[in-house]
Structure 1
Amino acid sequence: MKKVFTILAMTGLMLLSSVQDIYAQTEPVAEKTFHQVLKQRFIEGGPFFMGIVLVTLILGLAIAIERIIYLNMATTNTEKLVNDVEEAMGSGGVEAAKELCRNTKGPVASIFYQGLDRMDEGVDAAEKAVVAYGGVQMGLLEKNVSWLSLFIALAPMLGFMGTVIGMISAFDSIEAAGDISPAVVAGGIKVALLTTVFGLVVAIILQIFYNYIISKIDSIVNNMEDASIKLVDLLIRNK
């Protein structure tokens, strides 16, 4: 969680400094860059709902970056690990293999250690330990991913809510003016639709990260299952 809060704080400071730069600008710019136009549209959309969508983006990116770092660190060359464990068992027995797994990072090595630690109770006990601890490691891999999917669903809904409220404000302006002025209608609708655009943009960005994280988790889980089967076969051969 410390990593999440650190990344969250850094991302928030960067985005807030960008927003502050907009308000600090007083002189008109002849030609605006894409970044400047984006910031201008953000301000035009209104501080309340646009701010909520921005917070959703910051939280989602913080979780996505933390998960990507964790999953990359959890990736292990399972073929090499299986071969190293087999060599260690051949030369130094189960204790040597356990020491190798203890000094190797990643969920596969942790699963191997749990299986080897139950080897004295029999192959069946070792296999049960591998399966049970595999479920624990899978839960660690999927940690906080549900929050990311929540932010993906939440961002466009907040945008749509901002649009509906903006449309209501536009009709209130028309009612107060007593006349359907194109300027009043166009201005109100533009401001209302900006929240939807930003909500959809946030959802698209987070969805890309989400799909990458899910595919990474599936790849690691498949490697874990394949390596677990190889470990059980190795334990059977060396019982």
Structure 2
Amino acid sequence: MNWFFLQIGATDTVKQTVGAVTDASQQSMNVMDMLTRGGPLMIPLAALFVLAVFFFFERWLSIRKSSHLDPNFMNIIRDNILSGNVQSARALARNTANPVARMIDKGLQRIGKPIDAIEKSMENVGKLEVYKMEKNLSVLSLVYGIAPMFGFLGTIFGMLQLFYNINASGDFTPAQIAGGIYTKMITSASGLIIGLLAYVGYNFLNAQIDKNVNRMEAASSEFIDILQEPTR
């Protein structure tokens, strides 16, 4: 008999535990529910997120393409220049889609002029190539600058609305206040996350551009040294 009542008691305990877990799962929100509770300012935040993702991958693919260069490119250029075959060197540079190759091609076009003039021409081409690589990076800079501001603005508007409703109705509970603050903080969290991602992407792309710039400077210096070597 006691065993029977113990079984009933254990069954009731299990049911209560399962019911509590079910209620907790019903009260929890998924990510989409949380985002929809953020209010109208989640729309511009979503637009900023899309812009950041699009321009990050667009710039990353472009910079990655610009970084591809045959390791023997400068060796071939040197051999052609020292052997007096400048046309072959120019043909190789023109057929290589790379900032370094375009800069070297400009230097090859200026062969016969003073070294200072050659360096200046190559430097100008290098600046144009860097500008091309940095194109649209300002969008990421804009996103990581204003996304947190939009998030804080949404939270402020939400708090103003919450306290206005409390003042107008005079009916409030701690649970209502906590729930209102919780939902309005979603915009701040979203803005900070979007801004952080854009900031990381911006600095990552700048690091890749710096690598390409260093490669261009090394190639320019090597090209000037080649011009000062005696021909064969």
Letter in 2 for 1:155: A
Counterpart for residue 207 of structure 2: 215
Stretches of 4+ aligned residues off by more than 4 angstroms: none
Counterpart for residue 201 of structure 1: 193
1:43-100 per-position Cα deviation (integer Å, ceiling 9, x unaligned)? 1111x11111110010111111111000000003475221121123245621111110
Tell which has more relative contact order, 1 or 2 (C-alpha 8 A, sep 6+). 2
Counterpart for residue 37 of structure 1: 30
Kindly report the root-mean-square deviation, in angstroms, between the aligned alpha carbons of the 2 structures.
Answer: 2.3
1:57 aligns with 2:15: no
Structure-1 separation of matches of 2:172 and 2:33: 26
Counterpart for residue 116 of structure 1: 108
Structure-2 separation of matches of 1:111 and 1:51: 44
> What TM-score does the superposition give when structure 2 sets the normalisation length?
0.83
Which of 135, 148, 167 is the matching residue for 2:140?
Answer: 148
Q: Given that residues 38 and 187 in structure 2 are in contact (C-alpha distance below 8 angstroms), is that contact kept between their aligned partners in structure 1? A: yes
1:132 aligns with 2:129: no
Counterpart for residue 7 of structure 2: none
Cα distance, 1:181–1:86 mapped onto 2, change above 3 Å: same
Identity across matched positions, percent: 33
SS at 1:120 equivalent: coil
Q: Given that residues 67 and 213 in structure 1 are in contact (C-alpha distance below 8 angstroms), is that contact kept between their aligned partners in structure 2? A: yes
Counterpart for residue 154 of structure 2: 162
Shifted more, 80-89 versus 158-167: the winner is 80-89
Q: Given that residues 69 and 98 in structure 2 are in contact (C-alpha distance below 8 angstroms), is that contact kept between their aligned partners in structure 1? A: no
Structure-2 separation of matches of 1:238 and 1:140: 35
SS at 2:135 equivalent: coil
Larger of the two Rg values belongs to structure: 2
Q: Given that residues 76 and 108 in structure 1 are in contact (C-alpha distance below 8 angstroms), is that contact kept between their aligned partners in structure 2? A: no
Unaligned ranges ≥5, structure 1: 1-29
Letter in 2 for 1:109: A
1:79-125 per-position Cα deviation (integer Å, ceiling 9, x unaligned)? 52211211232456211111100011110001000111111333332
Letter in 2 for 1:234: I
Q: Given that residues 100 and 216 in structure 2 are in contact (C-alpha distance below 8 angstroms), is that contact kept between their aligned partners in structure 1? A: yes
Structure-2 separation of matches of 1:220 and 1:50: 37
Letter in 2 for 1:131: E
Q: Given that residues 158 and 199 in structure 1 are in contact (C-alpha distance below 8 angstroms), is that contact kept between their aligned partners in structure 2? A: yes
Counterpart for residue 6 of structure 1: none
Counterpart for residue 10 of structure 1: none
Letter in 2 for 1:189: I
Cα distance, 1:169–1:229 mapped onto 2, change above 3 Å: same
Tell me how far 1:31 sits from its aligned partner.
6.2
Cα distance, 1:184–1:173 mapped onto 2, change above 3 Å: farther
SS at 1:237 equivalent: coil
The alignment of Structure 1 onto Structure 2 pairs a total of residues equal to 209
Letter in 1 for 2:74: V
